[in-house]
């Protein structure tokens, strides 16, 4: 039934493409990808062929207010003969500025409220230009994807409402409520808010919060501030807190979890057109399990104009062990059309709290890549090799051909 419904949806979509309009404009991207790797599930070599398609149709009506947007993919595993797998991420019609007050979306769409996010088959209505506060309402069937496609049931719904400030150039504020149903039972019930404020043209304060009404706990808190005394120097400080909560209908909702929080300080400084420095410190707390201190430092340098070298060093001390690692990446643009890249990532680590001895382990990753662009087309290739305690070599790669129209 899911595949039949998906085929019907795509058929309807391409029928819409063929419909006459007022000189409608069609744009988007076709991305054809080939991926090869070894499956973690059965240790067999895999070769996947994937086709992504993103479309936008504008100026359908004479006023230019109506548009249609769609994005989906199809995948086929070629070696082991797995069946064709299709996903439709969104396909909706949008009418903007109805009576200069309403924006309306109908169809499958991704909705992002401060309280939660979801993909729904339904509608979103935004009320605007009615004063300093605007409102939005979303509702429809909650779309859930599994490995092999959609795995939803009857009675899976989502509903949300939001209020947001409008017309304030330096201030953003959004407050929302979001609820999900799983086969008719309430699975999620969350209140959320986001905030952003610019001060004196040199400071940006921001934050967001989500409160789980069912569990009676804040499952996410974030507060941060950026200070840029000049165009070359940026300081960032953040506090983040997370308390994992699960759907009320999930078996995992009965398990005990630990609160996690971290405090982060980062800074970046652009010396000149050739070099940029960055550094940061992160204090992490894992409840009763322990804590960790993470230090990161690095730089970006252009020894010559077409070459960019990025070097980053990480040091971690604490739960769940110690780590010293580094990343080296080099990008070279020999011509305007061609870009070559290579990189390596080496980590030396010790794990603590495991039943086996994991001291002095080293993991390595090496990769090569290239991309060639000509007009509205590009071809890119990337090959990775992972070397770790589980595999002496794990080679995977990807070839991507993109066509923009």
pLDDT at position 11, please? 46
Q: For the segment 345-397, what is each residue's pLDDT rounded down to a tens digit?
A: 999 988 876 555 566 789 999 999 999 999 999 999 999 999 988 788 899 99
Cα separation of 300 and 330, whole Å?
10
Q: Of all residues in the chain, what percent are helix, strand and coil, respectively (each to 5)?
A: 5, 65, 30
Residue 21 lies in a domain: no
Q: Which of 325, 331, 316 is nearest to 380 (CA)?
A: 331
CATH classification at residue 334: 2.40.160.40
What Rg do the C-alpha atoms of the chain give, in angstroms? 25
The parent domain of residue 343 ranges over 258-405
**Is 305 among the domain residues?**
yes
Give the whole-angstrom CA distance, residue 123 versus residue 142: 12
Let me know: does 91 contact 153? Beta carbons within 8 Å: no
Decide: 386 and 365 in contact? Cβ < 8 Å. yes
In a domain, 343, yes or no: yes
pLDDT in tens, 284-327: 999 888 999 999 999 999 999 899 999 999 999 999 889 999 99
At residue 374, the pLDDT reads: 94
Instruction: Pick out the chain residues at pLDDT < 50.
Output: 1-6, 8-18, 20
What is the pLDDT, as a whole number, of residue 150? 86
| pLDDT value at residue 356 | 55
Domain tally, the chain: 1
- Cβ neighbours for 318, distance < 8 A, ≥ 6 positions apart: 284, 290, 291, 292, 293
Distance of CA 90 to the CA centre of its chain: 15
Q: Is residue 272 part of a domain?
A: yes
The whole-angstrom separation of Cα 234 and Cα 201 is: 13
Instruction: For tokens 């001291």, name the residue.
Output: 359
Nearest of 176, 186, 89, 185 to residue 137 by alpha carbon:
176
Q: What pLDDT is stored for residue 9 in this prediction? A: 47
């Amino acid at each position: 039934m899911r595949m039949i419904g998906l085929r019907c949806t795509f058929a309807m979509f391409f029928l819409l493409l063929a419909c006459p309009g007022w000189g409608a404009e069609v744009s988007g991207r076709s991305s054809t990808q080939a991926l090869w790797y070894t499956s973690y599930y059965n240790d067999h070599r895999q070769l996947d062929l994937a086709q992504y398609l993103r479309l936008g149709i504008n100026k359908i009506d004479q006023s230019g207010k109506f548009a249609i947007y769609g994005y989906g993919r199809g995948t086929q595993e070629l070696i082991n003969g797995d069946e064709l797998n299709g996903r439709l991420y969104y396909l909706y019609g949008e009418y903007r500025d109805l009576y200069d007050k309403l924006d309306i979306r109908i169809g499958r769409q991704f909705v992002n409220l401060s309280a939660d996010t979801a993909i729904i088959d339904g509608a979103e209505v935004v009320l605007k230009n009615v004063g300093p506060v605007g409102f939005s309402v979303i509702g429809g069937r909650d779309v859930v994807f599994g490995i092999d496609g959609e795995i939803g049931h009857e009675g899976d719904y989502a509903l949300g409402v939001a209020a947001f400030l409008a017309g304030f150039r330096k201030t953003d504020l959004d407050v929302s409520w979001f609820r999900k149903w799983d086969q008719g039972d309430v699975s999620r019930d969350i209140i959320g808010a986001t905030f952003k404020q610019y001060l004196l043209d040199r400071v940006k304060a921001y934050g967001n919060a989500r409160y789980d009404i069912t569990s009676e706990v804040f499952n996410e808190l974030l507060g941060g501030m950026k200070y840029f005394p000049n165009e070359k120097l940026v300081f960032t400080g953040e506090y983040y807190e997370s308390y994992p909560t699960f759907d009320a209908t999930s078996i995992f909702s009965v398990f005990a979890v630990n609160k996690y929080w971290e405090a982060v300080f980062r800074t970046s400084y652009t010396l000149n057109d050739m070099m940029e420095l960055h550094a940061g410190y992160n204090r992490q707390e894992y409840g009763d399990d322990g804590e960790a201190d993470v230090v990161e430092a690095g730089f970006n340098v252009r020894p010559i104009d077409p070459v960019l070298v990025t070097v980053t060093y990480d040091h971690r001390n604490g739960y769940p062990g110690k780590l010293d690692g580094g990343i080296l990446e080099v990008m070279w643009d020999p011509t305007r059309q061609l870009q070559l890249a290579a990189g390596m990532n080496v980590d030396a680590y010790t794990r603590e709290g495991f039943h086996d001895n994991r001291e002095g382990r080293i993991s390595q990753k090496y990769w090569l890549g290239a991309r060639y662009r000509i007009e509205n087309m590009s071809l890119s290739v990337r090959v990775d090799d992972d070397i770790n305690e589980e595999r002496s070599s794990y080679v995977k790669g990807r070839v991507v051909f993109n066509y923009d129209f």
